[in-house]
């Protein structure tokens, strides 16, 4: 667990409680204490774990969040429309470093997505070398034809416009039009393109699990903070 030693104004601002210029006013309005002693001086250096605001401990210094993404939430900081970050508390949206999704899900895809302000972790889990498994529940337009499992498992399927075949993926049939698909890569629109390549169309896509995490017990649009990675 981190416990940085920083000026109180800089620290509160990096956690999104107030901007540095608002810190003086913030310290007047809220009971910011260090080991129980109230602080008014914005220059004071503090350890994260010693600070309380109105008797509550600070938000964690580093956040890792598991969200059950609802349909329509966009995994981007720049796009117009309903961004996934608007589901988080306002304060978390002002944190520096920013909270970002670990990889992306399409706007209409629901399910498990991690978000973090830990750039190193984000890079590690999204790097092409990372082999984190992702489990999807896929609802299809047409009934499966029977050869998909073998084609996906072969490690030879080439998506249109790509030079490198996909790594083997595991498919499990749930019904004629619903399957579970486990992949370890994260190529652009990968699941939709895989089913496109076998003459089908995805009508609903839900990510059940990302690595060791799954969204069982988390409602759509809800999230929980994970302790650490």
**What is the CA 218 to chain-centroid distance, rounded?**
14
DSSP character for 79? -
Q: Which of 23, 46, 144, 191 binds ligand URA (CB under 6 A)?
A: 191
Q: Which of 22, 50, 59, 106 binds ligand URA (CB under 6 A)?
A: 106
Residue in 18, 7, 1 with CA at minimum distance from that of residue 95: 18
**Rounded to the nearest whole angstrom, what is the least distance from the CB of residue 73 to ligand URA in the complex?**
11
Helix (H, G, I), strand (E, B) or coil at 67: strand
Strands of 41-105 (E only): list them: 45-47, 51-53, 56-57, 64-69, 100-101
Token duo for residue 69:
């993404």
Of 44-52, 86-94, 150-158, 190-198, the window that binds ligand URA (rule: CB under 6 A) is: 190-198
Q: Which is nearer to ligand URA, 13 or 109 (CB)?
A: 109
Q: Which of 33, 39, 192, 204 binds ligand URA (CB under 6 A)?
A: 192
Helix (H, G, I), strand (E, B) or coil at 45: strand
Decide if residue 105 touches ligand URA (CB under 6 A). yes
Q: Which of 135, 205, 208, 215 binds ligand URA (CB under 6 A)?
A: 205
**Rounded to the nearest whole angstrom, what is the least distance from the CB of residue 154 to ligand URA in the complex?**
19
């Amino acid at each position: 667990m981190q416990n940085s030693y920083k000026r109180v104004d800089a620290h509160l601002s990096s956690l999104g409680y107030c901007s540095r210029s608002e810190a003086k006013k913030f310290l007047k309005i809220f009971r910011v204490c260090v080991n129980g002693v109230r602080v008014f001086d914005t220059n004071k250096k503090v350890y994260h774990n010693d600070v309380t605001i109105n008797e509550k401990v600070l938000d964690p210094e580093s956040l890792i969040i598991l969200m059950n993404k609802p349909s329509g939430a966009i995994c981007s900081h720049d796009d117009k429309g309903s961004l996934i970050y608007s589901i988080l508390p306002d304060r978390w949206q002002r944190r520096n470093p920013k909270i970002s999704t670990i990889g992306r899900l399409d706007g209409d895809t629901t399910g498990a997505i991690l978000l973090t302000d830990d750039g190193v972790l984000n890079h590690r889990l999204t790097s092409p070398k990372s082999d984190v498994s992702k489990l999807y529940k896929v609802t299809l337009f047409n009934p499966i034809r029977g050869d998909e499992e073998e084609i996906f498992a072969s490690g030879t399927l080439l998506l249109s416009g790509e030079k490198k075949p996909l790594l083997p993926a595991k498919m499990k049939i749930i019904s004629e039009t619903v399957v579970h698909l486990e992949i370890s890569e994260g190529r652009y629109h990968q699941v939709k393109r895989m089913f496109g390549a076998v003459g089908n169309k995805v009508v609903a896509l839900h990510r059940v699990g990302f690595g060791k995490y799954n969204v069982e017990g988390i409602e759509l649009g809800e999230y929980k903070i994970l302790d650490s990675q």
